[in-house]
C-alpha cells in the first residue's frame, strides 16, 4: 500500500466504468474479445488491491442494458469470460474474504453465466470482507423506472401515501437495496470518455468523479491508488460550505 494514502479516508464504496477494452485490442491488432480478456485480468488485480486497501464495496460496470447492441460474437465472448472468471477466481475471492453480488436484471443472461454467478454468490455469501458487486444487464434509468413502478403499485394498493414518499423509499427499491450498501464515494472511468453512461445515476449523486485516459486493461493497482489519492485531495461539501 502506498504510504501517502490516508488509511482513514479510503472510500467506502468505489464504482468503476471499465471502458476501453475494445479500443485497447484494436490498437494492437487483436480481436475485441481479446481486449475483454485482458480487461478481466486487470479486474482480478483491482479486486485484490481494493480489498487490501480496505474498500468496503467495489462495484464494476461489466455489461449494460445497451451492450446488447454489440455484435453477437462479442456479447457471447463477454459472457464466456464472465463464466471463466467466476470459476477461476472463486478460491481467491474466498481467500480474500470477498463476497460477490450482482446488480441488474440477470434473467436475460445466458444460462451458463447465470449458473456461474449463482455458484459464486452461494460460495461467497458468508464472507464478511469487501462486497464485490458486478453490474450485469444494468442500466440506471431502467433501475429507477422499476423502482417507480413498484412505488406506483404500493400507492395504488393503499400501502403507501404519496405525500409521505421519501428518498429512502426510492433507494430501498433500487438494485442496491437502499441502506444495504453505501452510495459510491468515488466513481472512476477509464478509456478517456467523461460521462456516466447510465451507471448509478441515483446512487452517484454526490460521488467524486475521476476520469483516466488509459484503457481498462492498462488500469493497475497503482492507478487505483492514484485515483484514491485524487479523491482524498478533494473537499466534499455535499452542497454546503468548505470545512477548510
By annotation, the residues acting in catalysis are 19, 67
Sign of CA dihedral 172, 90, 55, 25: negative
DSSP calls for the chain: --TTS-GGG--SEEEEE---HHHHHHHTT--HHHHHHHHHHHHHHHHHHHHHHT-SEEEEEEEEGGGGGS-HHHHHHHHHHHHHHHHHSHHHHHHTT-EEEEES-GGGS-HHHHHHHHHHHHHHTT--S-EEEEEEEE-HHHHHHHHHHHHHHHHHTTS--GGG--HHHHHTTSTT-GGGSPPPSEEEE-SS--S--SSSTTTTTT-EEEE-SS-GGG--HHHHHHHHHHHHTS---TTS----
Amino acid at each position: 500500500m502506498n504510504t501517502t494514502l490516508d488509511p482513514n479516508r479510503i472510500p467506502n464504496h468505489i464504482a468503476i466504468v471499465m471502458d476501453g477494452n475494445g479500443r485497447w485490442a484494436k490498437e494492437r491488432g487483436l480481436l475485441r474479445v481479446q481486449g475483454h480478456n485482458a480487461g478481466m485480468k486487470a479486474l482480478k488485480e483491482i479486486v485484490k488491491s481494493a480489498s487490501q486497501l480496505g474498500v468496503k464495496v467495489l462495484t464494476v460496470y461489466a455489461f449494460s442494458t445497451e451492450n446488447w447492441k454489440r455484435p453477437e460474437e462479442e456479447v457471447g465472448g463477454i459472457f464466456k469470460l464472465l463464466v471463466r472468471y467466476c470459476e477461476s477466481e472463486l478460491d481467491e475471492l474466498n481467500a480474500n474474504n470477498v463476497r460477490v453480488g450482482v446488480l441488474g436484471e440477470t434473467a436475460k443472461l445466458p444460462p451458463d453465466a447465470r449458473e456461474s454467478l449463482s455458484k459464486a454468490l452461494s460460495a461467497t455469501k458468508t464472507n464478511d470482507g469487501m462486497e464485490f458487486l458486478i453490474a450485469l444487464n444494468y442500466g440506471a434509468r431502467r433501475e429507477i423506472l422499476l423502482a417507480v413502478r413498484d412505488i406506483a403499485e404500493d400507492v395504488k394498493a393503499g400501502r403507501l401515501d404519496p405525500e409521505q414518499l421519501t428518498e429512502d423509499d426510492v433507494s430501498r427499491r433500487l438494485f442496491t437495496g437502499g441502506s444495504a450498501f453505501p452510495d459510491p464515494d468515488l466513481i472512476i472511468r477509464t478509456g478517456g470518455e467523461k460521462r456516466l453512461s447510465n451507471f448509478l445515476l441515483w446512487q452517484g449523486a454526490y460521488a467524486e468523479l475521476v476520469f483516466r485516459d488509459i484503457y481498462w486493461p492498462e488500469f493497475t493497482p497503482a492507478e487505483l491508488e492514484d485515483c484514491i489519492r485524487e479523491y482524498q485531495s478533494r473537499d466534499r461539501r455535499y452542497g454546503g460550505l468548505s470545512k477548510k
